[in-house]
Structure 1
Amino acid sequence: MRTSIATVSLGGSLTEKLTAAARAGFDGVEIFENDLLGSPLTPEEIRARCADLGLTIDLYQPLRDIEAVPEAEFARNLHRARHKFELMRRLGTDTVLVCSSVSPLAADDDALAAAQLAQLADLAQEFGVRVAYEALAWGRHVSTYDHAWRIVETAGHPALGTCLDSFHILSRGSDPKGIEDIPGEKIFFLQLADAPLLAMDVLQWSRHYRCFPGQGGFDVAGLVRHVLSAGYDGPLSLEVFNDVFRQADAGPTAIDAHRSLLVLQEAVGLARPPAPVVPTGIAFAELVTPDAEPVSALLGALGFARTARHRGKPVDLWQQGEARILVNTGPAVRRDGTALAAIGLESPDPEGAARRAEALLAPVLPRRRTPEDAQLDAVAAPDGTELFFCAGTSPQHPSWRADFIDTPGQLPSGTGILRIDHLALTQPCHQFDEAALFHCSVLGLHAQESVDVADPYGLLRSRAVTTPDGSVRIALSVGPAPTEDGAHAQHIALAVADVVAAARRFREAGGRLLPIPANHYDDLAARFDFAEGELETYRELGILYDRDAGGEFRHCYTRTVGRVFFELVQRDGDYRGYGAPNAPVRLAAQHTAKRLTGG
């Protein structure tokens, strides 16, 4: 189906919004009146600009508080509408949105509303315009889609239909199945938005917290199935009011928006992009650094050994167990110190994974490689982290490991590290929802519920995306506390069989663990029962503890190098979380350590 986006969903000038929508692959736009009023372009120039970009103007939104009002007020409304219909003729668009009235002048009189909307449709028809009547969730007297449809049906005018909006329908808890009773030709337009499930005033919820389909808690796909069953064949259009989106660059936001519609169309059977190829593990994590010495010292204390070096690039492979860390000191490293720049994902079908990514607007990144280098495709996550699709050794997919030459005699000393348990990536605030949708739709991961954590300087929001078996876990977060250079910290969590033994060996090798306040252990003593001496050991080593119905979680942290720190984690039983109750303690301890020691 054709896709469209309301200009209110994007930031920037009208020209910037139109350009971003076209480049992202949209077929059309809804023009919000404020965007037109603030534009230096004439309606004719906007129409020409859209045509040059290959965009149709699918909807215009200039009218409010039209129906069920006193006659004198309605006469003024018709006067205003005539001017707007003439403007629409100049724009080259034929559908106008009319929202149910919120005016205190509006009467609770369906017959009057139907009669006045029919008069409005008579006028619109003279200009070749259709009127799409929409129920606002906070409408004064009309607030549900079925009520709006009854008024349209009563009016019985060919130029009057209804507009369905997923937010207005789902935020009120209305059953969308009734949409199938509306003739498809009378559904003039469909607007789509998702939203997190919040307990708040619906107007504020709508105006500030909408998001793209797949980023919230609504069953938008289910609603669309009902609309399609009714026979609707118009565009799928996004109308998303979101403060963060409107402050962000329009280009990436438009791509995120169009990706959400591609995934939605896949969910309802309208499109068949290449199937997701779910990764089976983490092949490596790549650190880039301008100074290898602090990183090497930290990895060495953790028990890693430099086991190989890339044949043509300044990249070392450090390994212990199944945990592999690449350290890149090449000239293209970031200026903000040591950072986690890339993740290698083990994939049963790297080529299929790359095809899926490209179909969902995540093109394979160009890479310089020699003829001997393994064919490794990579795409960029929204925060810029490169994601490589890696396969085991086969004639079709030579292993990435073949690019490295072994370093003789280098064996890990061992602190009991088994594998990479999870990776934590802090996102720019305007890309948090985008990142969750990206990792789920492109990589086939599953998103867990968002968790809000108190930070000493604000609030940190986190959401994990994982494979069902936990072989790949990525914790996405956004928070207020950047590192000293203004960038946010990232971390690599390493799975161990015995965190106490691993922490002792790390400390004995010269490593520095993050000190944890004694108050944490007093609280643990009040909440849980421990074996004799167990809690004292945790206090000595800075080990944090959590327990749930599935099992137990013990973890501790290294000091930060650049933007990166490591976490040692021990999972017992079926514990699947990340120690969220301990996150405020860890964040406060890191702030304290930074003030006292600078790292």
Structure 2
Amino acid sequence: MRTSIATVSLSGSLTEKLTAAARAGFDGVEIFENDLLASPLTPEEIRGLCADLGLSIDLYQPVRDIEAVPADVFARNLRRAEHKFRVAQRLGADTVLVCSSVSPHAVDDDALAARQLRQLAERAAEFGMCIAYEALAWGRHVNTYDHAWRIVEAADHPALGTCLDSFHILSRGNEPKDFEGIAELPGDKIFFLQLADAPLLAMDVLQWSRHYRCFPGQGDLDVAGLLRQVLRTGYAGPLSLEVFNDVFRQAEAGPAAVDARRSLLVLQEGVGEKTAGAEPVGEGGLPPAVVPTGVAFAELVTPDVEPATALLSALGFTRTGRHRGKPVDLWEQGAARILLNTGPGARRDGTVLAAVGLETPDPAAAARRAEALLAPVLPRRRSTGDVLLDAVAAPDGTELFFCATGRPPLPSWTADFAATGERPGEGTGLRGIDHLALAQPWHQFDEAALFHRGVLGLDAQPSVDLADPYGLLRSRAFTSADGAVRIALGVGPAPGDEHARAQHIALATDDIVAAARTFRAAGGHLLPMPANYYDDLAARFDFAPGELETYQELDILYDRDGNGAFRHCYTHTLGRVFFELTQRDTGYRGYGAQNAPVRLAAQHVSNS
């Protein structure tokens, strides 16, 4: 189906917004009145620019506070609306959005509202316009889609239809029973469809709408379920995004438009159906998701060679390989592999987690899906004989490599490394990477969430807010169904807060006590935890004799839910990276979120 985006969803000047929408692959735009009023371009020039960019102007919006008012007020409203129709005509748009009234002059009289909207439609038709009447969730008297439809039906004019907005509908009820009636509407009277998602928040719906909408797939609303109902009506108009979001309006328009377009591609895939009288939902079909089956490696880039190698050695890793053409070493223990890159690209702010290798059943297919979902494909600097790996960039710049480690006939990245002759020993008993925690720039958290769900096919877990001594950290985990891949995304309490944006690699062990003791004996230092934490732990859980004392001695944190227990401890931070040792019972699916405030406070003390 055709795709569109409201200019209010993007930052910058109107020209920048239109250019970004076109480059991202949208078919059309909704012109938001404020963007037109602030533009130095005339409506005719905007129309010409859109034509040059290959964009249709699908809607001009909004006209507010029109209906169900006294006759003298309505006469003034008609004059005001006529001006909007002339502007829309000059733009080349044929549909104008009219929101249900919030005016104190409006009365609760559906018959009056219908008569006045019919008059408005008659006037619009004279200009070659149609009216799409939308129920605002906070409308004074009309605030539900079915109420708006009853008024449109009573008005009975061919130039008057309804506009359905997923936020206004789902913010009042997010269960299927709350919107299943949409399928009974006549598709030809749905003049426009606006889509937006949002996190579930307990707050005034107007403030929720104006500041916290997001693109489909980034929030908690059942946008796909609503879209299925709309398509069953035979609606064949554009899928249009209308998102009010403080973060998006401060982010660059280009990446935001790409993220928006990706959200519609994923949404259409999720709906995955073709209804009578409608075009296919997808656009030739996306390549299916190829869910990663494990973490092949995590690559650290560092200027701090000696501290990094000392830390890896204390953790029990062995340097088993040296890249044949680059200053990159392979360190191994069990199935955990760390690449240590000491090349000239090392950042001045110290050690960073720059790349992740994901074990993938079909690397080429995974790359095709990523490219179809607008992920930037990374050209790889290769020396003669290097294994060619497919790689894309995540929104935060982390390089993601699709790997087939030791699975002939597929090429294995390990062939690029010459063996050092050393073989991994028992080390500290680490057997693999439990999860990765990737810090996100504050304006890219939602984009990263959609990327990991849509591009990688991982399942999204609920967002969690974690108390930091200087604010709140937001975290959301994405996992494969079997837990073989776990990636936790986090964003700090404020833009530019680098200390709150450390990354970490969590390593799995079956005996954390032994691992912690071995690490310390090798010269490693664990992050100290306060005695008050262990006093509280004793009140919350029952422990075997001496168990809690051992945890306190080794600075091990503890959590338990109905499915099992989780034990974990942390190294000090090196640059922007630290390691976590974890021991999780099979049924435990969390990450010790209850302990995060204690860990964050300890890190602030350690880094100060």
TM-score (norm 2): 0.96
The 5 A counterparts of 1:534-545 are 534-545=547-558
Q: Judge which range, 102-111 or 474-483, deviates more.
A: 474-483
1:218 aligns with 2:221: yes
SS where residue 157 of structure 1 aligns?
coil
Aligned partners of 1:457 and 1:481 also within 8 Å: no
The whole-number CA distance in structure 1 between the counterparts of 2:169 and 2:432 is: 46
- Name the structure 1 match of 2:463: 450
Q: CA deviation at 1:195?
A: 1.0
- Match for residue 547 of structure 1? 560
Match of 2:587 in 1: 574
Pick the aligned partner of 2:232 from 221, 229, 236: 229
Write the deviation string for residues 121-141 of structure 1: whole angstroms up to 9, x where unpaired. 111111111000000111111
Task: Identify the residue that residue 516 of structure 2 maps to in structure 1.
Answer: 503
Q: 1:147 to 1:436 in 2, by over 3 A?
A: same
| Amino acid of the structure 2 residue aligned with 1:354 | A
Counterpart of 2:503 in structure 1 is 490
- Residue 104 of structure 2 aligns to a residue whose secondary structure is coil
Q: CA deviation at 1:412?
A: 3.8
CA distance in 2 between partners of 1:414 and 1:558 (Å): 16
Residue 429 in structure 1 maps to residue 442 in structure 2? yes
| In structure 2, distance between residues paired with 1:510 and 1:195 | 48
Structure 1 segment 460-479 matched on structure 2, within 5 A: 460-479=473-492
2:37 alignment partner AA: L
Aligned to 1:65: 65
Offset of 1:367 from its aligned partner? 1.1
1:2 alignment counterpart: 2
Q: How much does 1:334 deviate?
A: 2.6
Contact 1:483 1:489 in 2 (8 A): no
Is contact 2:6–2:32 with CA below 8 Å preserved after alignment? yes
Task: Give me the CA root mean square deviation.
Answer: 1.4
Structure 2 counterparts to residues 302-341 of structure 1, below 5 A: 302-341=315-354
1:364 paired with 2:411, answer no
Q: Which amino acid aligns with 1:320?
A: Q
Question: Are the counterparts in 2 of residues 356 and 442 from structure 1 also a CA contact under 8 Å?
Answer: yes
The answer as to whether partners of 1:130 and 1:159 remain within 8 angstroms in 2 is: yes
What aligned pairs does 1:242-281 form with structure 2 within 5 A after superposition? 242-269=245-272, 270-271=281-282, 272-281=285-294
1:443 match: secondary structure: coil
Offset, 1:363: 3.2
SS in 2 for 1:124: helix
| Cα shift at 1:240 | 0.7
1:292 to 296, 305, 308: 305
Which of 168, 182, 202 does residue 179 from structure 1 map onto?
182
Quote how far apart the aligned CAs of 1:409 are.
3.2
Partner Cα separation in structure 2 for residue 567 and residue 351 of structure 1: 32
Q: Judge which range, 332-341 or 464-473, deviates more.
A: 332-341
- 1:232-274 deviation per Cα after TM superposition (whole angstroms, max 9, x unaligned): 1000000011111111111111111110100111112222200
The secondary structure found in structure 1 opposite 2:296 is strand
Query: Are 1:378 and 1:386, in contact at CA under 8 Å, matched by a contact in 2?
Result: yes
- The CA deviation string for residues 425-450 of structure 1, in whole angstroms up to 9 with x for no partner, is 01112111111111011111001111
* Residue equivalent to 2:275: none
Cα gap change, 1:569/1:178 in structure 2, threshold over 3 Å: closer, same or farther? Answer: same
Deviation, structure 1 residue 394: 4.9
**For residue 55 of structure 1, what is the aligned residue in structure 2?**
55
Post-superposition shift, 1:486?
Answer: 6.2
What letter corresponds to residue 111 of structure 1 in structure 2? A
Task: Spell out structure 1 runs of 4+ moving beyond 4 A.
Answer: 481-487
SS in 2 for 1:440: helix
Q: Distance in 1 between matches of 2:26 and 2:72?
A: 41
Q: Distance in 2 between matches of 1:300 and 1:456?
A: 32
| CA–CA separation in structure 1 for the residues paired with 2:7 and 2:497 | 37
CA separation of 1:430/1:483 partners in 2, compared to 1, >3 Å: closer, same or farther? closer
Residue 481 to residue 109, structure 1, CA distance change in 2 (3 Å): closer
1:430, 1:350 → 2: CA distance? 29
Flag the 1:481–1:9 CA change in 2: closer, same or farther, 3 A: closer
SS in 1 for 2:346: coil
Structure 1: tracts of 5 or more residues without a match: none
**Does the 8 Å contact 1:338/1:563 carry over to 2?**
yes
Alignment of 1:238 onto 2:258: no
Residues 390/310 of structure 1: CA separation in 2 closer, same or farther (3 Å cut): same
SS in 2 for 1:247: coil
After TM superposition, the structure 1 = structure 2 runs for residues 119-198 of structure 1, keeping only pairs within 5 Å, are 119-173=119-173, 175-198=178-201
Q: Which residue of 2 aligns with 1:26?
A: 26
